[in-house]
Structure 1
Amino acid sequence: MSNRTNIPGTSPFEPIIGFSRAVRIGNVVHVSGTGPVGAEDLSPAEQTRVVLKLIETALSQAGATFEHVVRTRMFLARVEDWEEIGRAHGEVFGTIRPASTMVVAALLNPKWRVEIEAEAVLP
Structure 2
Amino acid sequence: MDDVRQTVSSGSPLEPQIGFSRAVRAGNHVAVAGTAPIGEDGSTVGPGDVHVQTARCLDLAERALQEAGASIGDVVRTRIMLTDVSRWKDAARAHGERFASVRPACTFVEVSRFIDPDWLVEVEVDAVIGQAPS
Which category of TM-score, normalised to the shorter sequence, fits these structures?
Answer: over 0.9
Provide the C-alpha distance between the structure 2 equivalents of 1:49 and 1:89, rounded to a whole number of angstroms.
7
Shift of 1:65: 0.5
Provide the C-alpha distance between the structure 2 equivalents of 1:41 and 1:116, rounded to a whole number of angstroms.
16
Runs of 4+ with deviation above 6 angstroms: none
Identity of aligned residues (%): 46
Match of 2:61 among 55, 69, 75: 55
C-alpha distance after superposition, 1:55-91 (max 9, x if no partner):
1110000011100000001100112210011111110
Aligned partner of 1:101 in structure 2 is 107
CA distance 1:107–1:40, change in 2 (3 Å): farther
Provide the C-alpha distance between the structure 1 equivalents of 2:72 and 2:33, rounded to a whole number of angstroms.
15
Shift of 1:10: 2.2
Is the Cα contact below 8 Å between 1:7 and 1:61 reproduced in 2?
yes
Aligned partner of 1:32 in structure 2 is 33
Provide the C-alpha distance between the structure 1 equivalents of 2:100 and 2:127, rounded to a whole number of angstroms.
16
Is the Cα contact below 8 Å between 1:69 and 1:121 reproduced in 2?
yes
Shift of 1:40: 5.1
C-alpha distance after superposition, 1:22-65 (max 9, x if no partner):
00000000000000013152511001111111011100000111
Residue 10 in 1 paired to residue 22 in 2?
no
Q: TM-score, normalised by structure 2?
A: 0.87
Residue 77 in 1 paired to residue 83 in 2?
yes
Q: TM-score, normalised by structure 1?
A: 0.95
CA RMSD of aligned residues (A): 1.4
SS at match of 1:59: helix
**Alignment size in residue pairs:** 123
Aligned partner of 2:51 in structure 1 is 45
